[in-house]
Amino acid sequence: MNTAQDTANDDWGAALAEQAAATTVVALEAERPTIFAPLAAPQSQNGTVHDIELIMDIPVQLTVELGRTRIPIRHILQLAQGSVIELDGLAGQPMDVLVNGCLIAQGEVVVVNDKFGIRLTDIVTPSERVRKLKR
C-alpha cells in the first residue's frame, strides 16, 4: 500500500535517477574536471601522506540564494504573516549555490511533489574558485 510519503520518495528517486543518468552522460562527454575529482594525496616534508578522506565527513553550510533586497527596519517591523518581500532575482534566472559563502555553482529551481530542489546547470571550475579566493 503506497502512502503519499512513498509516492514523494519515488518521485524524488526518479528525479535523482534521471539526474544521475544525465550526469553520467555529461561526465563522459566533458573535458574539464568536476569539483569532486579525486585529489592526489600529497606527502608532507616528513614523508607522511595527507589523506583527503580525513575531511570528507566535515559538514559545510550549503546555501541556495534566490535573491537579496535591502529594506528599512520600519518595513521589517510591519511584516506580518502573508507579507511578500520583493527580491532582486528574476523568475527563471539561475540561482547561486554557495558553500560556506563561496560560489560553487548555479542552478535552476525544481519542484517535485511540493518540495523544492535545485538542478545544477553550471559548476564553477576549481581554477576559477582559486582565482576568486586570491582577490
Q: Where are the domains of the chain?
A: 56-133
Ranges under pLDDT 70 in the chain: 1-9, 19-50, 135
Site of grid cell 546555501: 63
What per-residue confidence (pLDDT) applies to 100?
Answer: 86
What per-residue confidence (pLDDT) applies to 3?
Answer: 56
Of 108, 67, 101, which Cα lies nearest the Cα of 85? Answer: 67
What per-residue confidence (pLDDT) applies to 73?
Answer: 94
Query: Checking DSSP bridges between strand 102-112 and strand 95-99, what pairing results, if any?
Result: antiparallel
- What's domain 56-133's architecture? Roll (2.30)
For residues 124 and 35, the answer to whether their CB atoms sit within 8 Å is yes
Cα separation, 103 vs 96, in Å, equals 7
What per-residue confidence (pLDDT) applies to 77?
Answer: 93
List alpha helices for 3-125, DSSP H.
4-29, 73-77
- Name the pTM for this structure: 0.51
Of 24, 53, 57, 28, which Cα lies nearest the Cα of 38? Answer: 53
What per-residue confidence (pLDDT) applies to 82?
Answer: 92
Per-residue cell: 87: 527580491
